[in-house]
């Protein structure tokens, strides 16, 4: 074979030109991954973007096991406060909660921290993804709705973070270069952000459950969920006027919300009391159709199996005789014959009843009307319009539902405040860490907890804040550990 | 034939005519002639030529009367050579006139030379001298250099091996050399005008051909550090994976089998650990016949993952489980197909691979087609393998005594709860579990190859089959069937060269796991019951069903893999010294794996169902590499320029399916019979493109300068960061070529060379798409179910678009010495590699979204070391020869710097200035005579020995203050090859100086057998001054701490006779009778014996009870026809 020399130069030239045509950048570009889609694809249409928001809800409801939003806040703070104790021999990390002997390396507080920040990251992704998207298939109304939902989710996660850990880094972007080295943001500033997010959510989110579609389950946060959280935030900030105002807005919406007459129905799917519930998956979820919290708390079998997280005598004693909540929301077990213990029984589906793929009768309750009444009562007791009288009236609504006599209208201010605290203790026990956060924000934690025999010797008030996970401090040296750890 | 009375009067000399013809031959003559005959008349020869070429002869019959008959044997000779040979010594000459060959009488005296007819080539040529350089088989050597010694002027041969130079003065010396061939020096005779010369393939270590990146070199001329291991050396070892045959052969390269399974991944590390990232593998870039074998590690959830310690899972990326830990990709390569393996270590050798060369490069060259008589080689082998050493464990009597004493020490009565094996099982029964579980495995193999062809078209075909059992002889085997082929074409004008190579292999691995035979109680009941089922009942009866160790015998992991590797290389000689080439390559691996958790393996009382995991892995690599080479002389120096490009695409796809709920073991092979199944999959892709260049300037083989550069791009990086530049500069000074040095050096000192290089290579690890923000639906199992019937999407990983190439800066200096006419060669190397701006997964606070992000870490890791390589021909005579080789590599590794180290994720496990592979330990003090427990130094004198994992070791209250580097201090090998007449004895020793963990560091006294020496000299009563602790069933901290103390580490250095091969070739006359060309018999042994003070079975695999490397004894017969 021979190539004519005259052909060589044109050949080489055409190869070179051909190579230049195929630009170098194209030569090293690869098709997009097959098992994932990019941010721009996610926010290219209403459906895809809704999937991203569904990712946040499923993270909240199921996660990959217990997390801050599906049980651990209840369980861990329940032990840190005076509600629960751990029954049996567990690993030292879990045993450290009830006696308030947490080490800074505790793995469970680490889970609380990580799971909350995962939700925040996902929420930031949605907020930024929508803002950056120019897709016309992503309609304006969906953009607004999803942004508001994401901001609500972000506010929700930050609320727990700052109440459990104190000052926390306020990450509002997914840009890792901006968040990689952050100092802890003062709690007041975190609250400011929470209020800002909630106000936007409140103004955008619909006043009903239309977003969830038929049968309009209360599983997507709406305007009233944002309002309820806002009321709680104002209460925590001691802004009683606003707290009462926001609470009234929810309470006055009687067409949507009324107390369930029977406490046993409170936590069911169709509860009229529910403002926002998280719907657990029924397949590919370790607890099947049960809530993760119910699955963790309830003994199997219910009255003879071992219950790990048991109610403390002090909580059991706090119930007044005849309180229907005591009978409806508490169960007992003989732990296989080794002694009777009591455990929270607000959710009824546990390991014994959970079924794979079956529809569930209960969802995980996040906000409910009873708490809103209590917020308003506390606000009124502290000077919001209506004063003590209105507070007593609100408390009596709950007491009457619990089958208890109403409080006298002649209580002193201090007595009203104590009554609110008591009512919160028994109404909201083993629910979202209310007790722990109430003790902390009202300054009673030291007095009440350090006096308990099971917490002797008292490790110190530093235990009232959970430790920042050490891996976080190692990777971000601007973080400072909470004092004492 | 045409006859004419007219003689064309030609004034040209025949030689000049030849020269002219050669110059234009590309256009005019592209013919070759094959002709053999004894005393044939010229006319007959001419007739044959006319038939073969289509040329016609033109001559006067009369002049043929003066011609003698000729005897010639020519195969594919170019026409002009053929004619020169035929007319050699005849009074005749020839010339070409278009398609006519004119034969004329030689003029008695050469006439003055007129201008050549083709004036375009040489306008006003002085008298020219013509030559042709070929190898011993007559193949033209293109690019050989020809130097006129007195003038220092040189030229190169063209594509046909021809050269022309102005006719040198008489008695001039010509030096003809070519890489890989022995240089020849020729003194021209008076009036000599032409030269045909054949060069012999160099056999000495300095001049033998060495495969380098995109070319060839020799140790004499190499600027970079390259070590080549020949195929012959590899084939002497009875191993199925050619990588294992490199163990100890290349200084500075550690080859570590990850387990004794034959197909298991092999971890390869060249010159120390570069990266801090425990997930990044240390494997170099493998290139087979120019085709890179890149595997993108998928690290899928529910699949095997790759890591620094375990190496890459290789061909098993999908699938849940594999006892072998994956499959080494090179297990699919038949060692019999390998021509050579080159290991490129320094920047000069690897920089041309740019971002892929950071961990070194291994070039594997398969056997290529060899022209000649068709030859059939057949080789059959049979081998047995077993465990080379056994542990000395307690017998039943000692075991029972140990258990009783332990309970007594604990103040416990012997009960069915605390000693079930003593209560429920026969305490007189004894089984040597090691012998039961590790048996004698058999292996069979056969290889056949056929090669032949002529100079223009040649071929080779190889077929191989190997079947090897693992020493878990109850079940399991490794099989490979392989096919390799090579086709070469050389156009008659020798300008076009085409080379096609392909290898195909199918491997099938069926592995089972056997329990660690060492810890089993010696009185445990048999593996199978009387009906041949697993002996669950005896274990159930003892309440030990949860400890039943033999279930895995019936839960095999199986993988079948198809691998194909093909490359096509086309080269065209555009002009003298100028070559255009293109290489296209492709490889593909398709692997299916399965793991069956059978019903038969499970406890019959549970009425269990079977489950299975299936995996597939598909790997594709393709590459296209155009290249232009130009070699020419500038002054006395030869300049070799190479400009080329690489475009490579890689995809790896993995899929895993878990299926559960089979009701019958027979249905287990397909998920359709299962009650349910879940799947997950992943695909990783990569594209790589580069433009590279290399300039090599060789000044009279005295000074060599080499520069190489590479601009490359990889899809692993985000937009704007895909491209990077890498380069190296190196030089060599062959001092022994200096005249003054020749005077200084004693006569026995024949060679002295210094070469050094510096350069930057890179690494683009980190995985695909890390710069891209990705969302996916979380894995189905335990993942996130739909919310409100909307399928969720969540971000999958942290996004960092700013990460860049990792930079590996390498300095290398070699000193090569040759003594006694290069019979002894010594190379000493010093190197320093620094890996900075490391591309790793950087731990981040979770409020960034994830616990880590791919990025550049500021860590700077340094590896420095020394290497030495000696080759000596101790005896070299006709009947006996003995060569010795020795190599050693010493590497020191340290974390050089790390800004803000106290905030780094490595703060608790590493220290600046210390090796990355350091472990930090307690100091073991021996047995406390009071309580018989092990005791340790309380380093900080706070009264307790504390293990605090939250602070750096040896600080504050932590007492791990002893540091031990677990990488070998040095390693190497010794090779000896003795040939006496027809016998050949090859020995290869390898050695390592290293620290290793004691085989058994756990408690003594629990339900676990222990090495016998723990029984001797153990503590029995207070005051005993002994070596071994008390027996106890209840652990204390001190028992747990022993494994974290220097007491658990011991010298695990060894010297191992890893290969012993003896072969004998049957005398030819006997072979002839059997119609064979050759027949040889050989016995090859692997892992023959080990000299070590280490107490375990195998100092290379120190974990207790895992499968050790077997000893293999192989008999082999090789025939050729």
Q: Which of residues 370 through 409 in chain A touch B, CB cutoff 8 A?
A: none
Quote the CA–CA distance of B520 and B665 in Å, as a whole number: 28
A46 contacts in chain B (CB < 8 Å): none
Residue A201, pLDDT > 90, answer yes
Per the DSSP assignment, residues forming a β-bridge with B690 are: B646, B712
| Confidence at residue B381, expressed as pLDDT on a 0 to 100 scale | 93
**Contact indicator for B475, B355 with CB cutoff of 8 Å:** no
Cβ neighbours for B640, distance < 8 A, ≥ 6 positions apart: B629, B630, B631, B694, B695, B696, B697, B698
Instruction: Give the contacts of B935 (CB within 8 A, at least 6 positions apart).
Output: B924, B925, B926, B927, B928, B945, B1038
In DSSP notation, B9-51 reads ---S-HHHHHHHHHHHHHHH---EEEEEEEEE-HHHHHHHHHH
Cis peptide before A457 (omega within 30 of 0): yes
Does position A279 have pLDDT exceeding 80, yes or no?
yes
Q: Smallest Cβ distance to A30: which of B572, B685, B792?
A: B685
The residue of chain B nearest to residue A161, with distances taken between CA atoms, is B847
Q: How confident is the model at residue B296 (pLDDT cuts 50, 70, 90)?
A: confident
What integer pLDDT is reported at residue B4 of this predicted model? Answer: 37
Residue B792 to residue A32, Cβ atoms within 8 A: no
Tell me which H or E stretch contains A37. strand A37-38
Please report the residues numbered 102 through 121 in chain A whose beta carbons come closer than 8 angstroms to any beta carbon of chain B.
Answer: 104-105, 113-114, 117-118, 120-121
Q: A266 touching B, CB under 8 A? A: no
At residue B254's C-alpha, the angle toward residues B252 and B255, to 5°, is 145
- The full DSSP string for B183-210 is -EEEEPPTT--EEEEEEPBP-STTTSEE
B842 Cα to chain A: minimum distance (Å): 9
CA distances (Å), origin A25, targets B21, B110, B648, B713, B718 = 49, 65, 13, 8, 11
Summarize the confidence of residues A10-17 as an average pLDDT.
62
Q: Which of 176-215 (A) contact B at CB < 8 A? A: 176-177, 179-180, 182, 212-213
Among chain B residues, the shortest Cα distance to A7 is held by B574
Helices marked H in B709-865: 739-744
Q: Does A253 touch chain B (CB under 8 A)?
A: no
Which residues from A are below 8 Å from B794, CB to CB? 52, 55-56, 58-59, 122
Q: In this complex, do B713 and A282 lie within 8 Å of one another by their Cβ atoms?
A: no
pLDDT tens-digit readout, A320-348: 999 999 999 999 998 877 789 999 999 99
Q: Judge whether residue B1106 has pLDDT over 50.
A: yes
CA B489 – CA B506 distance, rounded (Å): 28
Residue A171: list chain B partners with CB under 8 A. Answer: 847-848
Residue in A58, A124, A479 closest to B784 by CB: A58
User: Which residues of chain B neighbour A39 with C-beta distances below 8 Å?
Assistant: 773-775
Q: Which of B499, B487, B671 is nearest to B570 (CA)?
A: B499
Q: What is the spatial distance between Cα B297 and Cα B855, in angstroms, rounded to a whole number? A: 18
Please name the residue of chain B whose CA is at the shortest distance from the CA of residue A471. Answer: B845
Provide CB contacts within 8 A for A217, sequence distance 6+: A209, A269, A277, A279, A363, B788
Is omega for the bond preceding A301 within 30 degrees of 0, making it cis?
A: yes
The least confident of B648-657, B771-780, B857-866, B1005-1014 is B771-780
Contacts of A475 in chain B (CB under 8 A): 843-845, 903, 905
* Bridge partners, B710 (sequence order): B692, B726
Q: Count of domains in chain A? A: 1
A340 belongs to a structural domain: yes
Q: B1017 vs A191, which has greater pLDDT? A: A191
Q: Is the pLDDT of residue B445 over 80?
A: yes
Chain A hits for B686, Cβ within 8 Å = 30
pLDDT tens by residue, B1040-1096: 788 889 999 999 999 999 999 999 998 888 888 888 888 999 999 999 999 998 887
Chain A residues with CB-CB distance to B780 below 8 A:
284
B465 strand-pairing partners: B446, B481
More confident residue, B682 or A89: B682
pLDDT at residue number B506: 97
Contact B572 A29 (CB under 8 A): no
Q: Is the pLDDT of residue B888 over 90?
A: yes
Average pLDDT score over residue span B709-723: 86
Q: Looking at the partner chain, which of A29, A54, A168 has a beta carbon nearest the beta carbon of B715? A: A29
pLDDT, mean of residues A209-221:
92
Q: Which pLDDT does position B125 carry in this prediction? A: 55
pLDDT of the residue at B1105 = 63
Whole-number percent of chain B with pLDDT over 70: 94
Across the interface, do A179 and B645 touch by the CB < 8 Å criterion? no
| Mean pLDDT over the full length of chain B | 85
State residue A224's pLDDT score: 97
Inter-chain CB proximity B843 and A474 less than 8 Å: yes
pLDDT for residue A22: 56
Cβ contact, residue pair A24, B846, below 8 Å? no
Does any domain span residue A354?
yes
Question: Given B773, B781, B908, which is nearest A39 (Cβ)?
Answer: B773
- Read off the pLDDT of residues B934-947 as tens digits, 9 standing for 90 and up: 999 998 888 888 88
Residue A198 belongs to some domain of the structure: no
Residue of B nearest to A129 (CA): B773
Instruction: Kindly tell me if the per-residue pLDDT of B878 is higher than 80.
Output: yes
- Does A319 fall in a domain? yes
Alpha-carbon gap: B938 to the closest alpha carbon of chain A (Å) = 23
The pLDDT, as a whole number, for residue B123 is 47
pLDDT at residue B122 in the model: 46
Q: Hey, are the CB atoms on B714 and A28 less than 8 Å from each other?
A: yes
Q: Do B787 and A24 touch (CB under 8 A)?
A: no
Residue A342 resides in a domain? yes
Q: Is the pLDDT of residue A142 over 90?
A: yes
Within-domain flag for A306: yes
Query: Which of the residue ranges B131-140, B355-364, B584-593 has the most confident prediction, judged by mean pLDDT?
Result: B584-593
Residue pair A197/A151 in contact (Cβ under 8 Å)? The answer is yes
Residue numbers in A near B774 (CB within 8 A) = 33, 36-39
Judging contacts by C-beta atoms under 8 Å, the chain B residues touching residue A121 are 795, 847-850
Confidence of residue B305 (pLDDT cuts 50, 70, 90): confident
Check: complex ipTM more than 0.85: yes
Chain A residues touching B26 at Cβ < 8 A: 2
Cβ-Cβ contacts under 8 Å, A92 against chain B: none
Average pLDDT over residues B997-1018: 87
More confident residue, B303 or A327: A327
pLDDT digits (tens, 9 = 90+) for B517-558: 778 899 999 999 888 899 998 888 887 877 888 888 899 999
From B1038's Cα to the closest Cα of chain A, the distance in A is: 20
Mean pLDDT in residue range B37-62: 81
Question: Does position A38 have pLDDT exceeding 90, yes or no?
Answer: no
CB contacts of A37 in chain B (<8 Å) are 774-776, 793
Report CB contact under 8 Å: B793, A51.
Answer: yes
- The residue range of the domain holding A310 is 281-362
Query: What number of C-beta contacts closer than 8 Å exist between A and B?
Result: 220
| Rounded-to-integer distance, Cα B166 and Cα B188, Å | 13
Q: Which of B491, B799, B903 sits opposite A1 (nearest CB)?
A: B491
Q: In whole angstroms, what is the distance from residue B47 CA to residue A144 CA? A: 95
The more confident residue out of B187 and A4 is: B187
Q: Per the domain annotation, does A301 fall within a domain?
A: yes
- Mean pLDDT for B696-725 is 89
**pTM strictly above 0.90:** no
At B301 the pLDDT is 66
pLDDT at B117 over 80: no
pLDDT of res. A6: 57
In a domain, A351, yes or no: yes
Q: How does residue A80 score in pLDDT terms, banded at 50, 70 and 90?
A: very high
From edge to edge, which strands make up the β-sheet containing B162-166? B162-166, B128-135, B194-199
Q: Which of residues 9-38 of A touch B (CB under 8 A)?
A: 12, 15, 19, 24-25, 27-38
At B569 the pLDDT is 95
Q: What is the pLDDT of residues A436-472, one digit of tens each?
A: 999 999 999 999 999 998 898 898 899 999 999 988 8
For residues B92 and B889, the model is more confident at B889
CA distance A437 to chain B (A): 23
Contact B194, B18 (CB under 8 A): yes
Question: Which of A10, A30, A65 to probe by mutation at the B interface, max B CB count within 10 Å?
Answer: A30
For residue B526, which of B416, B422, B431, B424 has the smallest C-alpha distance? B431
Set of chain B residues whose Cβ sits within 8 Å of the Cβ of A219: 787-788
Joined tokens for residue B855: 């990025």
Look at residues B264, B266, B265 and name the one whose alpha carbon lies nearest to residue B254: B266
Q: Chain A residues with CB inside 8 Å of B496's CB?
A: 1
């Amino acid at each position: 074979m021979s190539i004519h020399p005259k052909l060589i130069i044109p050949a080489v030239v055409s190869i070179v030109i051909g190579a230049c045509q195929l630009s170098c950048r194209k030569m090293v570009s690869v098709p997009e991954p097959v098992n994932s889609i990019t941010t721009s694809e996610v926010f290219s249409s209403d459906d895809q973007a809704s999937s991203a928001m569904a990712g946040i809800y499923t993270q909240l409801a199921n996660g990959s096991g217990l997390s801050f939003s599906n049980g651990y806040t209840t369980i861990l703070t329940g032990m840190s406060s005076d509600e629960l104790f751990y029954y049996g021999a567990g690993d030292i990390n879990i045993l450290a909660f009830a006696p308030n002997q947490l080490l800074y390396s505790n793995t469970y507080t680490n889970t609380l921290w990580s799971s909350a920040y995962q939700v925040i990251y996902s929420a930031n992704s949605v907020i930024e993804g929508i803002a950056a998207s120019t897709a016309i298939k992503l309609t304006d109304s969906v953009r607004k709705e999803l942004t508001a939902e994401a901001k609500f989710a972000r506010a929700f996660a930050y609320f727990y973070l700052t109440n459990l850990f104190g000052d926390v880094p306020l990450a509002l972007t997914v840009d890792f270069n901006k968040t990689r080295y952050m100092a802890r943001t003062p709690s007041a500033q975190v609250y400011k952000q929470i209020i800002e997010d909630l106000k936007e959510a409140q103004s955008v989110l619909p006043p009903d459950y239309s977003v969830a579609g038929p049968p309009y389950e209360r599983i997507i946060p709406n305007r009233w969920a944002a309002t309820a959280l806002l009321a709680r935030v104002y209460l925590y900030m001691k802004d009683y006027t606003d707290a009462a105002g926001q609470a009234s807005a929810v309470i006055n919406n009687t067409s949507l919300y009324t107390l369930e007459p029977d406490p046993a129905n409170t936590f069911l799917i169709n509860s009229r009391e529910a403002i926002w519930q998280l719907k657990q998956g029924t397949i590919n979820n370790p607890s099947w159709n049960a809530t993760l919290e119910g699955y963790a708390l309830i003994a199997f079998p219910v009255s003879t199996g071992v219950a790990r997280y048991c109610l403390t005598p002090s909580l059991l004693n706090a119930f007044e005789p005849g309180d229907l909540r005591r009978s409806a929301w508490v169960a007992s077990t003989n732990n296989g014959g080794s002694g009777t213990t009591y455990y929270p029984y607000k959710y009824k589906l546990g390991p014994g009843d959970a079924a794979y793929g079956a529809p569930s009768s209960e969802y995980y309750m996040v906000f409910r009307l009873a708490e809103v009444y209590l917020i308003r009562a506390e606000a009124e007791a502290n000077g919001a319009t209506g004063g003590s009288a209105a507070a007593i009236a609100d408390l009596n609504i709950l007491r009457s539902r619990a089958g208890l006599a109403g409080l006298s209208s002649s209580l002193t201010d201090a007595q009203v405040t104590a009554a609110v605290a008591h009512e919160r203790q028994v109404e909201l026990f083993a629910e979202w860490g209310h007790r722990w956060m109430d003790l902390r924000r009202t300054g009673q934690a030291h007095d009440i907890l350090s006096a308990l025999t099971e917490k002797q010797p008292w490790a110190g008030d530093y235990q009232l804040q959970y430790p920042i996970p050490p891996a976080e401090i190692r990777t971000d040296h601007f973080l400072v550990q909470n004092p004492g750890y | 034939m045409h006859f004419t009375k007219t003689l064309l009067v030609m004034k040209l000399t025949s030689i000049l005519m030849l020269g002219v013809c050669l110059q234009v031959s590309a256009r005019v003559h592209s013919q070759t002639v094959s002709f053999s005959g004894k005393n044939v008349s010229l006319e007959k020869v001419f007739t044959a030529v006319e038939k073969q070429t289509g040329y016609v002869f033109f001559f006067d019959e009369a002049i043929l009367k003066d011609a003698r008959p000729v005897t010639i044997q020519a195969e594919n000779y170019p026409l002009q050579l053929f004619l020169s040979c035929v007319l050699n010594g005849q009074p005749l000459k020839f010339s070409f006139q278009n398609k006519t060959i004119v034969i004329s009488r030689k003029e008695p005296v050469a006439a003055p030379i007129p201008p050549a007819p083709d004036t375009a080539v040489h306008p006003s040529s002085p008298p020219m001298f013509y030559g042709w350089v070929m190898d011993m088989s007559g193949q033209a050597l293109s690019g050989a250099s020809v130097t006129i010694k007195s003038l220092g002027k040189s030229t190169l041969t063209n594509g046909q091996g021809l050269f022309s130079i102005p006719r040198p003065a008489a008695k001039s010396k010509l030096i003809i050399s070519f890489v890989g061939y022995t240089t020849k020096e020729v003194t021209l005779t008076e009036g000599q005008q032409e030269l045909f010369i054949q060069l012999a393939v160099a056999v000495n270590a300095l001049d033998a051909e060495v495969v380098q990146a995109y070319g060839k070199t020799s140790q004499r001329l190499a600027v970079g550090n390259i070590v080549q291991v020949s195929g012959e050396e590899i084939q002497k070892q009875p191993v199925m994976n050619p990588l294992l045959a490199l163990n100890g052969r290349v200084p500075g390269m550690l080859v570590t089998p990850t387990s004794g399974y034959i197909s298991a991944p092999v971890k390869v590390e060249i010159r120390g650990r570069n990266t801090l990232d425990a997930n990044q593998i240390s494997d170099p870039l493998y290139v087979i016949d120019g085709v890179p074998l890149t595997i993108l590690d998928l690290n899928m959830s529910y699949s095997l993952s790759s890591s620094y310690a375990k190496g890459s899972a290789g061909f098993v990326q999908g699938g849940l489980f594999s006892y072998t830990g994956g499959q080494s990709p090179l297990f699919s390569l038949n060692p019999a197909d390998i021509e050579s393996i080159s290991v490129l270590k320094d920047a000069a050798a690897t920089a041309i691979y740019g971002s892929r060369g950071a961990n070194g490069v291994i070039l594997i060259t398969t056997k290529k087609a060899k022209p000649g008589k068709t030859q059939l080689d057949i080789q059959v082998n049979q081998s047995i393998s077993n465990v080379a050493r056994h542990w000395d464990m307690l017998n039943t009597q000692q075991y029972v005594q140990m258990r009783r004493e332990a309970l007594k020490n604990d103040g416990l009565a012997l009960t069915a709860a605390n000693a079930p094996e003593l209560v429920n099982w026969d305490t007189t029964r004894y089984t040597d579990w090691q012998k039961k579980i590790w048996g004698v495995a058999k292996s069979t193999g056969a290889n056949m190859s056929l090669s032949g062809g002529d100079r223009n078209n040649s071929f080779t075909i190889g077929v191989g089959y190997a079947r090897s059992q693992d020493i878990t002889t109850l079940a399991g085997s490794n099989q490979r069937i392989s096919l390799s082929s090579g086709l070469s074409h050389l156009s008659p004008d020798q300008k076009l060269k085409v080379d096609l190579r392909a290898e195909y292999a199918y491997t099938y691995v069926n592995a089972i796991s056997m329990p660690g035979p060492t810890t089993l109680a010696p009185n445990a009941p048999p593996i199978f019951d009387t009906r041949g089922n697993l002996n669950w009942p005896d274990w159930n009866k003892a309440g030990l069903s949860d400890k039943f160790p033999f279930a895995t015998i019936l839960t095999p992991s199986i993988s079948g893999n198809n691998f194909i590797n093909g490359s096509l290389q086309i080269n065209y000689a555009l002009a003298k010294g100028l070559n255009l080439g293109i290489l296209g390559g492709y490889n593909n691996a398709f692997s299916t794996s399965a793991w069956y958790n059978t019903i038969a393996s499970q406890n019959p009382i549970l009425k269990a169902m079977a489950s299975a995991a299936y995996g597939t892995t598909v790997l594709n690599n393709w590459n296209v590499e155009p290249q232009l080479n130009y070699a020419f002389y500038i002054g006395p120096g030869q300049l070799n320029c190479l400009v080329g490009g690489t475009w490579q695409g890689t995809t790896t796809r993995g899929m895993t399916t878990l299926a559960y709920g089979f009701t019958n073991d027979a249905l287990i092979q397909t998920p359709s019979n299962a009650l349910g199944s879940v799947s997950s999959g992943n695909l990783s892709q990569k594209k790589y493109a580069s433009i590279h260049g290399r300039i090599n300037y060789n000044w009279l083989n005295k000074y060599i300068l080499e520069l190489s550069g590479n601009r490359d791009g990889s899809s692993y990086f985000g937009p704007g960061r895909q491209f990077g530049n890498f380069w190296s500069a190196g030089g060599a000074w062959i001092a022994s070529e200096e005249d003054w040095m020749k005077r200084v050096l004693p006569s026995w000192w024949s060679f002295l060379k210094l070469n050094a290089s510096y350069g930057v290579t890179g690494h683009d690890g980190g995985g695909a798409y890390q710069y891209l923000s990705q969302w996916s639906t979380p894995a189905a199992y335990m993942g996130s179910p739909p919310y409100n019937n909307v399928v969720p999407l969540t971000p999958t990983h942290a996004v960092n678009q700013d990460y860049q190439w990792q930079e590996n800066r390498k300095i290398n200096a070699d000193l090569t010495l040759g003594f006694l006419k290069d019979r002894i060669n010594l190379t000493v190397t010093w190197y320093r590699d620094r890996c900075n701006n490391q591309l790793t997964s950087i731990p981040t606070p979770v409020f960034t979204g994830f616990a880590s992000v791919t990025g550049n870490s500021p860590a700077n890791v340094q590896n420095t070391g020394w290497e030495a390589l000696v080759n000596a021909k101790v005896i070299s005579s006709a009947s006996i020869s003995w060569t010795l080789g020795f190599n050693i590599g010493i590497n020191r590794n340290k974390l050089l710097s790390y800004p803000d180290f106290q905030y780094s994720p490595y703060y608790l496990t590493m220290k600046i200035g210390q090796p990355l592979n350091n472990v930090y330990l307690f100091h073991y003090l021996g047995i406390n005579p009071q309580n018989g427990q092990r005791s340790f130094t309380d380093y900080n004198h706070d009264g307790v020995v504390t293990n605090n994992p939250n602070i750096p070791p040896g600080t504050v209250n932590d007492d791990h203050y002893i540091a031990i580097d677990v990488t070998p201090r040095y390693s190497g090998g010794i090779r000896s090859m003795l040939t006496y007449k027809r016998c050949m004895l090859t020995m290869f020793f390898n050695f390592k100086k290293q620290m290793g963990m004691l085989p058994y560091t756990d408690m003594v006294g629990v339900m676990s057998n222990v090495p016998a020496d723990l029984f001797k000299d153990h503590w029995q009563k207070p005051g005993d001054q002994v070596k071994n602790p008390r027996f106890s069933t209840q652990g204390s901290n001190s028992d747990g701490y022993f494994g974290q103390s220097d007491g658990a580490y011991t010298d695990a250095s060894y010297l191992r006779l890893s290969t012993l091969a003896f072969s004998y070739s049957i005398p030819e006359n006997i072979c002839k009778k059997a119609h064979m060309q050759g027949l040889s018999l050989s016995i090859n042994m692997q892992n023959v014996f080990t000299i070590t003070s280490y107490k375990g079975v195998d100092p290379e695999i120190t974990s207790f009870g895992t499968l050790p490397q077997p000893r293999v004894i192989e008999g082999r017969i090789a025939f050729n026809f």
